[in-house]
Amino acid sequence: MPLQWRCQQLLTVHTGEQIWGLLDVLPGTFDKIPETLDTASKKDIISRIERAVTVRAWTERTRVTAPDTESENL
């Protein structure tokens, strides 16, 4: 298995809610991404990640509350 970096990602879904997940990146790819955020922006993102639910929790919650589209199509 190749070495990889595990990164947190913050996503905004169609409802406007922010969720976070993990993304594995190969170092050779990651090195090509320029640093673009200042310290204040990084702190803001960290704060939003701490308040966000995980992708797994959001998926489980929306699976329970989503309408049953299969039965509507019958």
Looking at residue 4, its pLDDT comes to 82
Backbone dihedral region of 24: left (phi > 0), alpha (psi from -120 to 50 degrees) or beta?
Answer: beta
Q: Is the pTM of this model over 0.75?
A: no
* Count of helices and strands (H, E) across the chain: 4, 3
User: Given the structure tokens 């993304």, which residue do they identify?
Assistant: 23
Higher per-residue pLDDT: 24 or 73:
24
Strand order in the sheet with 5-12: 5-12, 18-25, 53-54
Looking at residue 5, its pLDDT comes to 83
Q: Is the pLDDT of residue 56 over 60?
A: yes
How do residues 35-49 score in pLDDT, each as one tens digit?
Answer: 888 999 999 999 999
